Amino acid sequence: MTADIHCDNVAKRYGSVAALDGLDLQVREAEMHGLIGPDGAGKTTLLRILCGLLFADSGRIRLADHDPRTQSRALRAFLGYMPQRFSLYPDLTVTENLRFFADLFQVKPDEREKRLQRLLSFSRLGPFSERKAAALSGGMKQKLALSCTLIHTPRILLLDEPTTGVDPVSRREFWDILAEMRGEGVTILVSTPYMDEAARCDRISFIHKGKVLVTDAPANIPGLYRQQLLEVKTAENVAAARAIQADGGFSSVQVFGDRIHVSAAGDAASMRKRVQACLQQHHISIEEIRPVPATIEDVFVELLR
Amino acid sequence: MQPTYSVEVQDITRRFGQFVAVDHISFQVEDGEIFGFLGANGAGKTTTIRMLCGLLLPTSGQARVEGFDIYTQTHEIKQVIGYMSQKFSLYDDLTVAENLAFYGGIYGLGRAELDKAVQNAMSTIDLSPYMNKLTRDMPVGWKQRLALTCAILHKPRILFLDEPTGGVDPISRREFWNLIYDLADGGTTVFVTTHYMDEAEYCNRLSIMHNGRIIALGSPQALKNEYQKNTIEDVFIHLVKKQIE
Amino acid sequence: MNSRIWTILRKETIHIRRDPRSLVIVFLMPIMMILLYGYAITFDIKEIRLGILDQDRTPASHELVHDLTSSNYFIVSGYLQARDEIAEAFLKRRMLAVLVIPPGFSADMGTKAVTEVQVLVDGSNANTATVALNYIKSFFVARSLQMNAEILRSPVNLQPRVWYNPDLKSAHFIVPGLVAVIMMMICALLTSVTVARERESGTMEQILVSPVRSIEIIIGKTLPYVLLALVDAIVVVVFAQMVFGVPFRGDPLWLLGFSLIYVYACLCFGIFISARVATQQIAMMSAMLATMLPSILLSGFIFPILSMPKILQLLSYIVPARYYLVIIRGIMLKGIGPVHLWMPALFLAVFGTLLLMISIRRFKTNLEG
Ligand SMILES: Nc1ncnc2c1ncn2[C@@H]1O[C@H](COP(=O)(O)OP(=O)(O)OP(=O)(O)O)[C@@H](O)[C@H]1O
Ligand SMILES: [Mg+2]
């Protein structure tokens, strides 16, 4: 299959800083592709270059066989892009903003109505349709911005951390909408700091220091983990994590919500003994301790080390 | 021992015109506690925090922050609180160092005090690679780090963090929370909103808001037990969905 | 100084430094305006195009025409043969005025007490027409006096002389006024957006949760602009001086001192606007509206205050430019010193301080609309 988005050895510098440093990326047609990586890895720069807002210093870029630098007009006809900080018209109401973008993208009336209903159900902005955008809460603004981006169906959709500030309920529904669009054949490239969102993509690319380190399906990512991982649950996770950290015998100790992930190069049994001994010393009782497969986030942490 | 309260809210309400953004809510936050202030979008979290910080006036109800009345003692309150707003609100055209110096100055820190405070914060949040860069050129996650650092320079007794980790990568979010734990260990009360439910697990107690009301309040474990869910995320979704229906 | 004011002041200075484009505007705009207004608003009409219909055709009538046109104010743009050509000459704007010397002009001059000539002026531009008419009138008054004196050998010899601005050049009168108007506008614009900008970008929210007081914010935000505005004033005065050759009879240092008070008052006016306004756009428009027209119309810049309706005269008392006009014209044209100017200066100082105090009181330390 040919790639819908194609980046070959792309570089971009800001002064002395290399934001993108020989980046290669292929996004397949009708694929939902996630971009993850630490802050400042180059995700936003990449997305801006793809939609023609910035120009790469070197490298070859094609979106559906279009060069964003020279064919940006043609490209914009079938490209949707939502920047990290999308600005709405603060003095327009929710409805007026939506209508403006629907007009802008020339969405047909019957399609518009259907899409609008779908978007209002995800955003729960229906009761506030006559409120000016300026008077919305932070998350409501973000959801309105998302709605304005999704009011039409582009062929390629680029989203830069779309769900920042969006509550968990709306976040799930938003990803349901994305999944539907993908089903309709839209190619989606989305950067996100949420690992559960990354897990919903077809493939994930991990970007670090302007390069793609890994691209793979979420299911294959845990296989990249090289160490042994133990999951520990206690009543005082923070104190426990600090105690295990202080022990010094483990390569990584991370609190994951209500549990702790401890990793080391050794085998599970000896690790378990060492953790138990350590926590006993600190009078912290263990509720649960077991070896677990790595999550995407564990791999993320390991890749960065 | 009777717990002492950092924040006491009694029946507080805030309207915008006819719309009730915060609807008769009451709660307390204990001294030194990490209090997670969760809620759906538009639930009224930011509005509540703004009232507690003296930025908005309540329509009715009573509240005290560190013992000071929010109607009459806003100036006293402002001496002891730190606040990080939901929308990034530092100066884009200043460098990181200049922003730090400005906020240090605003809180009356001398040169030496400021250096020490910055050093302190930097043991967890290392801003040094960006020190002389313009704030506008930093990635979002780094801006959040700077904003948090600015909010704690003056060692506030209570810290209000309105979605401090929005747009921050997972590893850095842990660093944020390490810092939050250090602050709490040092006796600072932390009042924090977030939409990351793994972070909710790190709080001592949580409240969950919807449409201006608090619909659940308790420790993460207690809430999970009460609603028989494995994670706070499930509790949250369960509660909010129930409200919507 | 209070360290918090100092902190804000320093930050504000950085904002100014980091925004070179605004700085360019701050210095370029006044210069453009001086050029534009200086040349456009001038009441001097040189070279009034004069048509001559000489029906007398004698040496005396030739002499009259010669005398009239040797004054530099008139040029003869054509000789007409008959009265009915006048209308066409006006319609085609070939002539602004026509001098008709009737037949028998030279004969009358020797014999009658009154000699008549006729002047027709194109009144479609009333302003120019009046000026032209005045020139012609004063020419004939002077001429009559001269002739009478010759005849009567009268001991009374009236020699009109205008003080301070002997050539009656309106540029000398207008340019100092322009300085007043321009400085008022620039200063008000500078400070009017500073507070609004922070409200708009959200940075104000972060400051308002700190123990900073309104007085510290207001003063810290006004002070850095005083220096900037003063430098701007110097640039404007020096430039105007160079281009229009306005005389400078007084002491430049005193002008500098008084200008400091004036820019202070104007900056306070801008802050006053900013203290309550929510967006930069509204702040800017209010600043323009509240400064430009009053400074031009009510300050005595163009229209003498004494000839205004009573109500406007009263209104003119709160227009800062009115006072500065007295000061700058006084120092530049009359060369007078502080002894005569302390009153307007005092008023400016009080006016500014009052506005500053009101701004501090009105400044909202929360986000309530
Ligand atoms: N100035 C205002 N005028 C009118 N309505 C307002 C104003 N400010 C906030 N609101 C409304 O009050 C409600 C609560 O807003 P608030 O910002 O407190 O929500 P929030 O819980 O912080 O949400 P989020 O998670 O999205 O940040 C929203 O419906 C919002 O639209
Ligand atoms: Mg909020």
Topology of domain A223-304, CATH: Alpha-Beta Plaits (3.30.70)
State the smallest CA–CA distance between residue B212 and chain C in angstroms.
19
Phi-psi category of residue C79: left, alpha or beta, with phi > 0 → left and psi -120 to 50 → alpha? beta
Amino acid at C120: L
Q: How far is B232 from chain C, CA to nearest CA, in Å? A: 31
Element (H, E) at C135: helix C126-152
**Residues of B with Cβ-Cβ distance to C201 under 8 angstroms:** 89, 92
- Cα B122 to Cα B117, B166, C1, C14, C203, distances in angstroms: 9, 20, 31, 25, 23
- The minimum-distance atom of ligand 1 relative to the CA of B209 is 21
Q: Sheet containing B60-65: give its strands across.
A: B19-30, B5-16, B60-65, B68-69
Distance between CA C340 and CA C13 in Å, rounded? 36
Q: How far is the CA of C237 from the centre of ligand 2 (A)?
A: 52
Using the atom order of ligand 1, give the atom closest to the CA of residue B45. Answer: 21
Which helix (H) or strand (E) element contains residue C4?
Answer: helix C3-17
Q: Is B41 in the pocket of ligand 1 (CB under 6 A)?
A: yes
For residue C155, the model assigns a pLDDT of 42
Q: How many CB pairs under 8 A join B and C?
A: 78
Given a contact cutoff of 8 angstroms between Cβ atoms, the answer to whether B39 and B209 are in contact is yes
Q: Give the per-residue pLDDT at C304.
A: 82
HEC string of A114-141 equals HHHHHHHHHHCCHHHCCCEHHHCCHHHH
Chains that touch B (3 or more CB pairs under 8 A): A, C
- What is the CA angle A127-A129-A131, rounded to 5? 100
Q: Tokens representing A285?
A: 């009782």
Whether residue A211 is predicted with pLDDT greater than 70 in this model: the reply is: yes
Place of tokens 């050093």: B119
Q: Report the separation in Å between the CA atom of B86 and the middle of ligand 2, taken as the mean of its atom positions.
A: 6
- Best probe of the B interface among C4, C12, C206, by most B CBs < 10 A, is C206
At C157 the pLDDT is 45
CA triplet A136, A142, A146: central angle to 5 degrees? 125
Q: Cβ–Cβ of B137/A14 closer than 8 Å?
A: yes
CA-nearest residue to C199 within chain B is B89
Mutate to test the interface with C, among B46, B48, B55 (most CBs of C within 10 A): B55
The structural domains of chain C, ordered by start, are 3-42+169-368 (no CATH), 48-151 (3.40.1710.10)
Backbone angles phi, psi at A43, to 5 degrees: -65, -50
**Higher pLDDT among residues A219 and C78, named by residue:** A219
Tens of pLDDT, residues A46-81? 999 999 999 999 999 999 999 999 988 888 888 999
Does B121 or A114 have the greater pLDDT score?
A114
The nearest alpha carbon in chain B to A207 belongs to: B169
Burial of A70-80, coded b for 16+ CB within 10 Å and e otherwise, reads eeeeebeebbb
Global pTM? 0.85
B contacts of A300 (beta carbons < 8 Å)? 170-171
Domains of chain B with bracketed CATH: 5-244 (3.40.50.300)
Mean pLDDT, residues A8-32: 93
pLDDT given at position C119: 81
Name chain B contacts of A14, Cβ cutoff 8 Å: 137
pLDDT tens for each residue of chain B, 245 residues long: 567 899 999 999 999 999 999 999 999 999 999 999 999 999 999 999 999 999 999 999 999 999 999 999 999 999 999 999 998 889 999 999 999 999 999 998 888 888 888 887 777 778 888 888 999 988 888 899 899 999 999 999 999 999 999 889 988 898 889 889 989 989 999 999 999 999 999 999 999 999 999 999 999 999 999 999 999 999 999 999 998 88
In chain A, where the domains are located: 3-221, 223-304
- CA of B213 relative to ligand 1 center, distance in Å: 13
A3-221: CATH number: 3.40.50.300
SS3 of C297-339: the string is HCCCCCCCHHHCCHHHHHHHCCCHHHHHHHHHHHHHHHCCCHH
Per-residue pLDDT 10s for chain C (369 aa) are 578 999 999 999 999 999 888 888 888 988 888 888 777 766 566 677 888 888 888 888 888 888 877 777 778 888 888 888 888 888 887 888 888 888 887 777 767 766 777 888 887 776 677 777 777 777 777 777 666 655 544 444 444 444 444 454 667 778 888 889 889 999 999 898 888 899 888 899 999 999 999 999 999 999 999 999 999 999 988 988 888 888 888 899 999 999 999 999 999 999 999 887 888 899 999 998 888 888 888 888 878 888 888 888 898 898 999 999 999 989 988 888 888 889 999 999 999 999 999 999 999 888 886
**A48 three-class SS:** helix
Ligand closest in space to the Cα of B39: 1
Cβ–Cβ < 8 Å for A47, A191: yes
**CA torsion sign, C34 to C39 to C42 to C46?**
positive
In this complex, do A257 and B197 lie within 8 Å of one another by their Cβ atoms? yes
Q: Which atom of ligand 1 is nearest to the CA of C367?
A: 1
Distance A28 CA to ligand 1 centre (A): 40
Give me ligand 2 centre to Cα B38, in Å. 10
Is B41's CB within 8 Å of A39's CB? no
CA of B46 to the centre of ligand 2 (A): 4
- Smallest CA–CA distance, residue A1 to chain B, in Å, is 32
What ipTM was reported for this prediction? 0.91
Whether the pLDDT of residue A1 is over 50: the answer is no
Taking CB atoms and an 8 Å cut-off, how many pairs form between chains A and B?
112
Q: Which residue in this structure is represented by tokens 């925004």?
A: C19
Best C15, C209, C217 member to test B by mutation, with max B CBs in 10 Å, is C209
Q: Which ligand is nearest to the CA of A166?
A: 1
Residues of B in contact with C210 (CB under 8 A): 78, 103, 106-107
Residues contacting A126, CB < 8 A, separation 6+ = A120
Q: How is B120-148 classified by DSSP, letter by letter?
A: HHHTTS--GGGTTSBGGGS-HHHHHHHHH
pLDDT 10s digits, A156-194: 999 999 999 999 999 999 999 999 999 999 999 999 999
Interface test with C, best of B46, B66, B87, B91 (most C CBs within 10 A): B91
Decide if B85 and C4 are in contact by the 8 Å CB cutoff: no
Q: Are B135 and B101 in contact (CB under 8 A)?
A: no
Closest residue of A to B230, CA-based?
Answer: A258
Q: Is C11–B50 a contact, with Cβ atoms under 8 angstroms apart?
A: no
Per-residue CA distances from A42 to A14, A18, B138, B139, B146 (Å) = 11, 9, 11, 9, 19
The whole-angstrom separation of Cα B168 and Cα A158 is: 19
Q: Which pLDDT score is estimated for C158?
A: 45
For residue B88, the tally of other CB atoms under 10 A from its CB is 20
Query: Of the candidates A14, A167, A256, which has its C-beta nearest B195's C-beta?
Result: A167
Q: Which residue has the tokens 């959709």?
A: A157
The residue of chain A nearest to residue B201, with distances taken between CA atoms, is A257
pLDDT given for residue C46 in this prediction: 65
A260-299 residue pLDDT tens: 999 988 888 888 999 999 889 988 888 989 999 999 999 9
Grade residue A3 by pLDDT with cuts at 50, 70 and 90.
Answer: confident
Q: Is residue B137 classed exposed, middle or buried when 0-12, 13-18 and 19+ CB atoms within 10 A define those classes?
A: middle
Residue with tokens 């240090």: B104
Q: Tell me if B85 and C202 make a contact (CB, 8 A cut-off).
A: yes
Which pLDDT value is given to residue C153?
A: 47
Least CB–CB distance from A165: residue in B39, B166, B177: B166
- What ranges make up the beta strands (E) of chain C? 48-54, 74-79, 97-101, 118-121
Angle at B101 between CA B98 and CA B104, to 5 degrees: 150
